Structure 1
């Protein structure tokens, strides 16, 4: 029995951005699916409704149905699984997701009056403020980057390590199962070899492999 993995991209992206991670998880033995959604135009309810339908459809083939989300995709994965009583079992991995809210998103929303906020779309509040803690039943692992290269350096004031867009501290949500930091910037998390290995390890074991280089 082989587990399924659904990949969710981030803000202003589309599913093709996940191709490298898709290939790495396939090589690790998972059945991988890219979930494409309109990150600005679609409402949260529309996106989560489609995601739930996809998860239930894959559940009919047995095995777990895991979610791996980059940035906004990780936030939406958590939102979708806050109440997962009717969803298939599985774990969640968030890549560079500002689970406690993004200072860069708040700064961007304040640029140009209403225009900045409009570019964050229906997920503006989720991006700006995130969650207070994780209270769902699924095990959640978070991978943060600490290569400080990205647009977020211009928009937000970061305290401590960051990936150029999201601060490591913004990814450290109370209630998650495990957390690790890799040498990558925000977009680079999708291409990092170590990220792929850590994702596969957490999906199998519910923890990250500290022995990985």
Structure 2
């Protein structure tokens, strides 16, 4: 339901930012707000997963409504985005650099990984503590499956363990970022807006 509503909002926007889910939307909104932008004329549309990208690109792109479409994706899922861009008329066999020139930017692993690496584990743990989840995180770290993992990997997994937590932390972590340390894919995407 949320994706349908977001898509409807994007139909009137001059620029549409396609993201996988709500956590990406929240992080972009938080970073834009911190930069003093209200994203006027821009709709950030969660697609409900990367496998839906072709549908959104065909509907909103040059062969559809003709909106300016940009996006954020995980590097491991680049093939979906490349195929979607080709099917929607953006160009065939696009390199990652060509996709970036169009406004589609890859996160190394995913958004959470980018935010955790940019902030560093001490700051992420401070954010977890401020959110009231530090005790839960410490208990999580004691689980046998987590004990051998590095702390950044533990934080990444912890953020994704409970429904709604990824979205909550996306905004909190984006708010904690030093403006000079915004992850490159997010920084480049915001520069396209």
**Which structure's relative contact order is higher, taking Cα pairs within 8 Å and 6+ residues apart?**
2
TM-score of the superposition, structure 1-length normalised?
Answer: 0.40
* TM value normalised by structure 2: 0.43
Q: Counting helix residues as a fraction of each chain, which structure ranks higher?
A: 2
